[in-house]
Amino acid sequence: MFPSWYFQEPSDRQLERLERENGRVEGKPTKGQVSDMIGLFEQPEPDSIAILKHFKVSTAGMNQTLARHEAAMLMRDPEKRSAAEQRPADPDQRDFMSFFGLPVTEGTTHAVAKRVISILLAHLEEKDDPRLDEWRSYESVVEAFDDKEMLAEELEIKRPAASLLRQAIEELKAEGITFGTMESEPEVVRDRLLKLKS
């Protein structure tokens, strides 16, 4: 039920985030355990929500950790796993495929997208393709603007709608601003978001 990263060492950012929530850990917790603790204070992830909604399970009042657990329990059933894999590709998968110029249609399933992404990632890593660094910077920008606490404390804005964030990023990229710059200078993205909302 657990991915390999679950057993890795937690990052400094994770531990700092947990400390801000007055969370306490003893011994040597794994990255996954710390993630679960942080998840008690976070909204459910899109993938978990997609699985739960697919099976008509209410997500009302759920936090990230509970939703992740409920989704994992559903996926233990082979029939449910098969049904979930045939659902449409999720927004993150579509994002990745579009980023690398891969065709995404209405009929692209979650399982097909997952397989294509896995193959492409292995190829990019083997070739040490510089586009992979661009993707990671882009992904980091998207993740940063999903962090409600960071946005409120450091950039003094609320979490933007995913569509608005993508529009801001696309406009900046078209103007020659790199994903690396957006990652290191998030205020550039913030300013564009504010401009788009005005």
One-letter identity of residue 55:
F
18 phi and psi angles, rounded to 5 deg: -65, -40
Per-10-residue mean pLDDT, the chain, length 198 = 82 86 83 90 87 93 94 94 90 90 91 93 93 92 88 92 93 96 96 94
Distance CA 60, CA 35 (A): 21
H helices within the chain, ranges in order? 12-20, 31-39, 46-54, 64-74, 78-85, 91-99, 110-127, 130-144, 148-150, 162-174, 179-184, 186-197
Specify the pLDDT at position 1. 62
What pTM does this model have?
A: 0.64
